[in-house]
Amino acid sequence: MNKGELTKAVAAESGLSQSEAGKAVDAVFDTIAAAAKSRQQVAIAGFGTFAAKTRNAREGRNPATGDKIKIPEKTSLAFKPATALKDL
């Protein structure tokens, strides 16, 4: 399912127009992204938790040459599904 299909499903389920549903979907995604950027956790009961995770800097290897390279610290968004979602 892509974003357009999600918007149509939200519109059908909620009785909103596709335009209103699109704005609602965008608002949810924007809010989760803003919370992640400020390192806040977003927990949605029965669905899961979005949280910013930091991967430590480490040493890796260039697969083409075998040379050692330094991989910098990186922050990424992680999702942990709720038990109710896992049981589906």
29/67 same-domain check: no
pLDDT in tens, 33-59: 999 899 999 999 999 999 999 999 999
Number of domains in the chain: 2
**Are residues 30 and 54 located together in one domain of the fold?**
no
* pLDDT value at residue 88: 85
Confidence of residue 60 (pLDDT cuts 50, 70, 90): very high
Taking all residues of the chain, what is their mean pLDDT, rounded to a whole number? 94
Supply the range of the domain harboring residue 10. Answer: 1-38
Whether residues 86 and 48 share a domain: the answer is yes
Q: Which residues contact 64 (CB under 8 A, 6 or more apart)?
A: none
- Extract the tokens encoding 14: 């909620």
Residue 57: CATH number of its domain: 4.10.520.10
